[in-house]
């Protein structure tokens, strides 16, 4: 698969504006490819974001080099946040509840059931033959 193209900043994107320091943030750390800052609408104490500095609407549009940097930043921030339990959340597209169309990862510390993201995962076994067929299809495109 070819590497995604690096997109230029988008003037209407709030995260591009934060990366360019046109909008202030409460910065935690910054690298060549990512920035981490506090979420201004937190759903738990310590809720923060890790954002690639290049604009891309969806995860599959970000280069391997940038994602590697973002992953290290996420790991460092999650550890520094000090919560034993936490969610890492990343949404792609409106049906997946992506509100800002710039890739970003939420790190959401969980200290109790009351800390954001209270949902039940539907735990029903999938049809093994259907799962194998789907896996074969996905693998053929990797």
Contacts of 3 (CB under 8 A, 6+ apart): 63, 64
Q: Calculate the alpha carbon distances from 123 to 84, 128, 138 in Å.
A: 24, 15, 22
- Whether 104 is a known active-site residue: answer yes
Phi, then psi, of 12 in degrees rounded to 5: -85, 0
What is the C-alpha separation between 3 and 94, in angstroms, rounded?
24
Task: Point out which residues pair with 52 in neighbouring strands.
Answer: 34
Catalytic residue among 33, 47, 102, 104: 104
Catalytic residues: 104
């Amino acid at each position: 698969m070819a590497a995604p193209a690096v997109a230029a900043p988008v003037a209407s994107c709030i995260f591009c504006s934060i990366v360019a320091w046109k909008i202030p943030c409460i910065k935690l750390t910054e690298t060549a490819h990512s920035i981490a800052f506090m979420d201004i609408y937190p759903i738990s104490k310590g809720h923060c974001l890790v954002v690639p500095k290049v604009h891309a609407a969806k995860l599959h549009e970000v280069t391997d080099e940038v994602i590697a940097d973002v992953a290290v930043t996420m790991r460092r921030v999650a550890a520094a946040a000090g919560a034993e339990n936490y969610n890492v959340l990343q949404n792609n597209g409106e049906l997946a509840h992506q509100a800002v169309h710039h890739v970003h990862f939420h790190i959401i510390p969980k200290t109790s059931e009351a800390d954001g993201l209270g949902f039940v995962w539907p735990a029903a076994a999938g049809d093994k033959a259907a799962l194998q067929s789907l896996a074969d299809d996905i693998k053929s495109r990797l």
